[in-house]
Structure 1
């Protein structure tokens, strides 16, 4: 059969987990990344929502798997199931809520203690479209991130500000080349650093539901 002669490109899967307090906007960021549109009204995430996009490269397909976790305290213990084996964790706080940054710090400490030691951790301050309600300055967020050695970006899921730039920065640092080399040598996946793709090259997304 002709299709049997077509060499399928390897698929390199990258798992990114979203963590943060309830109502900081994790699901809105998730929706913006996957669908470009977002619903202003949605119920709190129960457990976890999953979706992915494929980015087509010449030699391989890069699959970005995004896991949106629940922010309620009663679901906190479940999060370890989702950040296990993740290549990246996006920890989100609300720039209008100081307590959400305290919760973000809890997540970062937990990731440093329990997650993959090579995990890429990114701190994102959401809701910069509410300047009159802001209680955490960009400088404070950046200083906090620098203390932990994290990537940092302020965004607005509502106004779609810096969402693409945020994920471009994450995707560019994912260990795609290392994972491809491991896959070719039959060693499975590994974590490292640097990929190098713009999300402008995204070819498709799949809705796997919640």
Structure 2
């Protein structure tokens, strides 16, 4: 993947022009470190005294990707079962997701398939998903092998990275990878839409226009004998 990421800002200048706003959701079991990943990416902070998220919280961070200013709006969804019905509405409009598990808790990895099923059932089919194995600093307590996670990610066509919010390992690359891929998809869609719009505009403008060519009968533009416009 080309490195389109060229810079970063915090909250961003109030007068800064925002080219894109991308909504990303953090999902996964409770206590896997979703809030800490968000705090590390958005504010470069880590709190050992973190409390469970109730409902939904969100933070923003502005980055520059391929010379475009992108505001990442990152939603931290509570992992507890009792909040899942409440937070399901927050998948709406999400173009990226970080599916987080704790490498020291096998159960949190075993639940990933269920979270993924819910995500795919609620979100846009083109959503960019990163599987994140958090707490890589606790290697001695590892309960989920990197190979198992890689295999699952490949099978489900997900991006994959192991992170440590505590040590700030791979947190930035994980978010930037997702944002860059979202940008690639969105800018490609915009390009196609613009091309189709231009094509339709030309057709509408040229439809029914008669081009009079000496010694020939008038022909509608785009006719087999004569066209006013060369192929693009």
Q: Same fold (TM over 0.5)?
A: yes
Matched, 1:172 2:180: yes
Alignment of 1:71-82 (within 5 A): 71-82=79-90
Cα deviation 1:110-145 (Å, max 9, x = unaligned): 122221111111100001111111110111110111
Equivalent position SS for 2:25: strand
> What is the CA-CA distance between 1:181 and the residue it aligns to?
5.6
Q: Which residue of 1 aligns with 2:108?
A: 100
Q: Which residue of 2 aligns with 1:22?
A: 30
Provide the C-alpha distance between the structure 2 equivalents of 1:148 and 1:166, rounded to a whole number of angstroms. Answer: 17
Provide the C-alpha distance between the structure 1 equivalents of 2:66 and 2:127, rounded to a whole number of angstroms. Answer: 26
1:12–1:179 contact (8 Å) kept in structure 2: no
What TM-score do you get using the length of structure 2 for normalisation?
0.71
What TM-score do you get using the length of structure 1 for normalisation?
0.78
Greater relative contact order (Cα < 8 A, sep 6+): 1
Identify the range of structure 1 (172-181 vs 90-99) with the bigger mean alpha-carbon deviation. 172-181
Provide the C-alpha distance between the structure 2 equivalents of 1:26 and 1:14, rounded to a whole number of angstroms. Answer: 18
Cα 1:146–1:59 change in 2 (3 A) is closer
Alignment of 1:24-39 (within 5 A): 24-39=32-47
Larger radius of gyration: 2
Cα 1:80–1:135 change in 2 (3 A) is same
Q: Which residue of 1 aligns with 2:92?
A: 84
Residue 139 of structure 2, aligned match among 114, 122, 131: 131
Q: Which residue of 2 aligns with 1:204?
A: none
Provide the C-alpha distance between the structure 1 equivalents of 2:135 and 2:16, rounded to a whole number of angstroms. Answer: 42
Identify the range of structure 1 (55-64 vs 13-22) with the bigger mean alpha-carbon deviation. 55-64
> What is the CA-CA distance between 1:164 and the residue it aligns to?
1.1
Provide the C-alpha distance between the structure 1 equivalents of 2:161 and 2:96, rounded to a whole number of angstroms. Answer: 15
> What is the CA-CA distance between 1:61 and the residue it aligns to?
2.5
Cα deviation 1:145-165 (Å, max 9, x = unaligned): 111110000011111111111
Equivalent position SS for 1:173: helix
Count residues in correspondence: 180
